Chains A and B, each alone.
Chain A
């Protein structure tokens, strides 16, 4: 705990003090095993909250409030001196947890980056400048003469993004590649490869650095994990780490539910009774047009895989439709590959997972596309028509529309579920395959006339009982192991402490590797 102060120095520059660490190197700290896990869970709550906020399509100012609230609620500590440690330790623990697959890394990277973004924006300008200095960003502000030459364009951009134009603003000129998010949103003036960014946009520049650093670090941590940590820590930290990661992902929808297979002859019936609107729409369009564009084929195809459509049936299903439009021969030539690919039979041979609501909501369908989230991407008029066709009555329909207007797309889908099934859906809809499974569960219980007291949702589904149980079991096993270890081992683990640095040494080595890796690649 005393080590806190030594950590602080990395965040102090020119006498400016900040509580926002850059997580550049792993801490040399000791932490109680219990805290190791609890800190991680607290941070996970923050990240999960951010993930929910993003999938609701919250605007930046709403996100800012949400992130700072989540942070305050979950990342407190009774000893103020311990707050920064908790921050750093939890971050590094979750790095281990989320380093292990591409999908986990992508999720963690995205949530940590969002978290950092809003915490950075919350800092005072002098702190921001100090943090910028720590990132070694070599950019100078634009000279007066140059500013005058592009002033009109800069003002034009400022008006375009709804900001007041100020004449004495500081602008930095940076290569456009450094601020991809500003380029993507046309939030910046670009000329001859250089982007002119205003002081209040500097966060984008910092974020790019933060993200690229963390992204590289996660890949290296993963290498370290598979090559040594997993084996060395197989009795102590590995079980905790593994339990933590499944606690986020919740059910894995890449494999269909047990014994759940569907056959082609039932598919129309099932689509009508149990598909969420996004899939139902794609399904109907496919039947109607005998064609779907790439995004639609992916979204529906992976969903059907998760539902339990076997590869052979899937090929038959898609061929039956597409051959009516493009001919069977062209289907076999151009489209069959993609379907086998989804089932891990081609190319990288990855067994792809069905898209989650968050992924579908944040997709960007274009002209001719039918994929995406209807609650987000349909016009109100089309949505109303679609819901009416699904059998949503007048009153619930207004509730759904109300949720949509407030951009609670998943809640809108949940209300639709409840209206269609006449049964509550406490867990909310997080995944089209979860919608399907819950729907099937209700329908099965109705047909077999089983009395099911309460429909059992997933509850706090990413941290459900099952997983908590698993963690507890792991913990018990681990305590036993610690007791049976020899004296020296016991000393290391005295007072139930983990020496974080044992794990983190790996991080240090990793940092060194990264540096040497960089010079090599140059």
Chain B
């Protein structure tokens, strides 16, 4: 069954990328990941300038309000080929960053916070006794791994991903992105494919970068519906007589639809006894569960529509048990939440000094580039169609004939990704950064004027 699904996925991809595929075959570079490939990638494709522009947040400009030490106080960390881990690297310019990456050829680049002082010189500052070396700014980040969903997906487990379970990530992007914008009022949000089994999110608004750990933890808790560990029977508990508007919106706009129209079928959630028992466990009423169990055990046809039929029976019974009241009807929602609601790696988001892999890195296991995902059409994102290192190098080989632009990436299938990063994320971000620098500079000038006259 599984092989068939995977092959279907490939077929789709072929249809979409017929032309690319043709070219790839002609200039084939053997699949894989190695230091030589990576050197070529860092040499020709990696978008240094865009990364520098992004992480400078407008402070690389000429305005007197710019803080020229800003980029240089950012921690980068490199994981090298031989597993040597270099923390607290810092760079003062785009070219310094570029030279270091080209020289060291890191298998992984992580981005840390902006510190109070240059992280490379932290030891010099700690001599004074007072530890003034402390993170001062950090994007609000989220890390979602599909391996955390192993109890609700039957197609894959661990680091494996296929088109049957990837919608779980799509759901996560939709739910979190909408809330970050509508509830929390953020607007500069970058979603990135983590290269293998999940997605990362970078919230880059000035206000987000300056949140303290407690405020970060509060946002994470706002998103959290999973209470209880492996040993509690219910993973999701929706208490109270009504749901918070955020949960209502998530349920109505995303979760319910994806559960009923995608996952119910693709994951065959009611296929056999083992699977439906897991769902029945979430219903605290013995009479309801035994009625359903009786029905389902006597009817053992394993057809496609059995999942939908059983879900309908369950819903119908729970909704109609009037005497049982709210609690049982809430079960329907709890089941849907259990199987769909985003599961965040909370520790990553809670602390300013957590590192997160940089966009446009290449995952050593899959060879795929960590490309941005547009949340507006994230349902179209297909992890198996993300450009790989060998594919890009193949395209570069043909790129010579095409002779486009000064940036080599433009001719490759990474071109669209860099363009998206630039046009849909970076431009508007830098515009607000400029305004912010202007405003705070004017306020400062005003303040010093006032204090002089006083």
Instruction: List B225-280 residues whose CB lies under 8 Å from chain A.
Output: 226-235, 240-248
With A184-B217, A378-B232, A382-B232 known, 15 other A-B pairs at CB within 8 A are A157-B244, A160-B244, A176-B184, A180-B218, A184-B221, A193-B186, A223-B130, A333-B83, A364-B346, A366-B346, A367-B230, A370-B230, A370-B231, A377-B229, A522-B444
- A381 CA to B338 CA in the complex, in Å? 20
Contact (Cβ within 8 A) B231 A186? no
- Interface residue B151 (Cβ < 8 Å from any Cβ of A): yes
Cβ–Cβ < 8 Å partners of A421 in chain B: none
Nearest-Cβ distance from residue A346 to partner chain B, whole angstroms: 10
A372, closest chain B residue (CB): B229
Contact (Cβ within 8 A) A368 B233? no
Contact (Cβ within 8 A) A367 B226? yes
- Interface residue A190 (Cβ < 8 Å from any Cβ of B): yes
- Interface residue B321 (Cβ < 8 Å from any Cβ of A): no
- A184 CA to B224 CA in the complex, in Å? 9
- A281 CA to B231 CA in the complex, in Å? 11
- Interface residue B29 (Cβ < 8 Å from any Cβ of A): no
Proximity bits, A173-212, B CB within 8 Å = 1, else 0: 0001100110111100111111000000000000000000
Closest 6 CB pairs between A and B? A193-B185, A365-B229, A180-B218, A184-B221, A159-B242, A192-B185
Cβ–Cβ < 8 Å partners of B347 in chain A: 294
Proximity bits, A344-385, B CB within 8 Å = 1, else 0: 000000000000000000001111111110100111011000
Proximity bits, A221-244, B CB within 8 Å = 1, else 0: 001001000000000000000000
Given A183-B221, A367-B148, A367-B343, A379-B243 contact (CB < 8 Å): no
Given A156-B248, A180-B214, A193-B207, A369-B229 contact (CB < 8 Å): yes
Contact (Cβ within 8 A) A368 B184? no
Cβ–Cβ < 8 Å partners of A181 in chain B: 218
- Interface residue B211 (Cβ < 8 Å from any Cβ of A): yes
Cβ–Cβ < 8 Å partners of B182 in chain A: 191-192
B152, closest chain A residue (CB): A367
- A16 CA to B182 CA in the complex, in Å? 40
- Interface residue B12 (Cβ < 8 Å from any Cβ of A): no
Contact (Cβ within 8 A) B211 A160? no
- Interface residue B222 (Cβ < 8 Å from any Cβ of A): yes
Proximity bits, B422-454, A CB within 8 Å = 1, else 0: 000000000000000000000010010000000
Proximity bits, B203-222, A CB within 8 Å = 1, else 0: 00001000100110111011
Given A157-B244, A193-B185, A374-B221 contact (CB < 8 Å): no
Contact (Cβ within 8 A) B185 A378? no
- Interface residue A260 (Cβ < 8 Å from any Cβ of B): no
Contact (Cβ within 8 A) B231 A378? yes
- A185 CA to B219 CA in the complex, in Å? 10
- Interface residue B18 (Cβ < 8 Å from any Cβ of A): no
Cβ–Cβ < 8 Å partners of B243 in chain A: 156, 160
- A382 CA to B232 CA in the complex, in Å? 8
Contact (Cβ within 8 A) A190 B183? yes
Cβ–Cβ < 8 Å partners of B221 in chain A: 183-185
Given A156-B245, A193-B185, A183-B222 contact (CB < 8 Å): yes
Nearest-Cβ distance from residue B67 to partner chain A, whole angstroms: 13
Instruction: List A372-410 residues whose CB lies under 8 Å from chain B.
Output: 372, 374, 377-379, 381-382
Contact (Cβ within 8 A) A157 B245? yes
Cβ–Cβ < 8 Å partners of A374 in chain B: 231
Contact (Cβ within 8 A) B148 A368? yes
Contact (Cβ within 8 A) A186 B214? no
Of B151, B184, B217, which is within 8 A of A193 by CB?
A: B184
- A379 CA to B233 CA in the complex, in Å? 6
- Interface residue A15 (Cβ < 8 Å from any Cβ of B): no
Cβ–Cβ < 8 Å partners of A185 in chain B: 221
A374, closest chain B residue (CB): B231
- A159 CA to B227 CA in the complex, in Å? 21
- A176 CA to B148 CA in the complex, in Å? 29
- A161 CA to B245 CA in the complex, in Å? 12
Given A184-B218, A368-B148, A382-B183 contact (CB < 8 Å): no
Residue of B83, B221, B229, B447 with most partner-chain A CB within 10 A:
B229
Nearest-Cβ distance from residue B108 to partner chain A, whole angstroms: 12
- A156 CA to B184 CA in the complex, in Å? 18
- A379 CA to B229 CA in the complex, in Å? 9
Cβ–Cβ < 8 Å partners of A422 in chain B: none
Nearest-Cβ distance from residue B352 to partner chain A, whole angstroms: 14
Which residues on B are within 8 Å of A, measured CB to CB? 83, 129-130, 148, 150-151, 182-186, 207, 211, 214-215, 217-219, 221-222, 224, 226-235, 240-248, 343, 346-347, 444, 447
Contact (Cβ within 8 A) B148 A161? no
A159, closest chain B residue (CB): B242
Proximity bits, A134-177, B CB within 8 Å = 1, else 0: 00000000000000000001001101111000000000000011
Given A159-B240, A367-B230, A378-B232, A177-B215 contact (CB < 8 Å): yes
Cβ–Cβ < 8 Å partners of A281 in chain B: 231
Cβ–Cβ < 8 Å partners of A382 in chain B: 231-233
Nearest-Cβ distance from residue A387 to partner chain B, whole angstroms: 13
- A161 CA to B447 CA in the complex, in Å? 43
- Can you spell out 21 A-B residue pairs with CB atoms less than 8 angstroms apart? A156-B243, A159-B241, A159-B242, A160-B242, A177-B211, A180-B214, A181-B218, A190-B183, A190-B184, A333-B83, A364-B227, A365-B228, A365-B230, A367-B226, A367-B230, A368-B150, A368-B230, A370-B230, A377-B228, A377-B231, A382-B231
- A162 CA to B232 CA in the complex, in Å? 24
Cβ–Cβ < 8 Å partners of A192 in chain B: 182-183, 185
- A192 CA to B207 CA in the complex, in Å? 12
Contact (Cβ within 8 A) A160 B207? no
B214, closest chain A residue (CB): A180
- A428 CA to B215 CA in the complex, in Å? 35
Cβ–Cβ < 8 Å partners of A333 in chain B: 83
Cβ–Cβ < 8 Å partners of B130 in chain A: 223
Instruction: List A400-449 residues whose CB lies under 8 Å from chain B.
Output: none
B130, closest chain A residue (CB): A223
Cβ–Cβ < 8 Å partners of A161 in chain B: 240
Nearest-Cβ distance from residue B209 to partner chain A, whole angstroms: 12
- A68 CA to B127 CA in the complex, in Å? 46
Of B222, B228, B447, which is within 8 A of A184 by CB?
A: B222
- A364 CA to B215 CA in the complex, in Å? 17
Of A180, A190, A191, which is within 8 A of B215 by CB?
A: A180
Contact (Cβ within 8 A) A370 B240? no
Nearest-Cβ distance from residue B13 to partner chain A, whole angstroms: 31
Cβ–Cβ < 8 Å partners of B83 in chain A: 333
Of B184, B211, B217, B230, which is within 8 A of A369 by CB?
A: B230
- A382 CA to B228 CA in the complex, in Å? 12
Residue of A160, A161, A223 with most partner-chain B CB within 10 A:
A160
Nearest-Cβ distance from residue A393 to partner chain B, whole angstroms: 22
Nearest-Cβ distance from residue B354 to partner chain A, whole angstroms: 12
Cβ–Cβ < 8 Å partners of B151 in chain A: 367
Nearest-Cβ distance from residue B80 to partner chain A, whole angstroms: 12
Cβ–Cβ < 8 Å partners of B211 in chain A: 177
B244, closest chain A residue (CB): A186
- A192 CA to B180 CA in the complex, in Å? 9
- A226 CA to B185 CA in the complex, in Å? 43
Contact (Cβ within 8 A) A162 B241? yes
- A364 CA to B225 CA in the complex, in Å? 11
- A191 CA to B83 CA in the complex, in Å? 45
- A160 CA to B248 CA in the complex, in Å? 11
- A374 CA to B224 CA in the complex, in Å? 21
B218, closest chain A residue (CB): A180
- A84 CA to B347 CA in the complex, in Å? 42
Residue of B150, B231, B240, B347 with most partner-chain A CB within 10 A:
B231
- A286 CA to B185 CA in the complex, in Å? 43
- A281 CA to B211 CA in the complex, in Å? 36
A365, closest chain B residue (CB): B229
Cβ–Cβ < 8 Å partners of A370 in chain B: 229-231
Of A157, A294, A368, A379, which is within 8 A of B232 by CB?
A: A379
- A73 CA to B230 CA in the complex, in Å? 42
A371, closest chain B residue (CB): B229
Nearest-Cβ distance from residue A202 to partner chain B, whole angstroms: 17
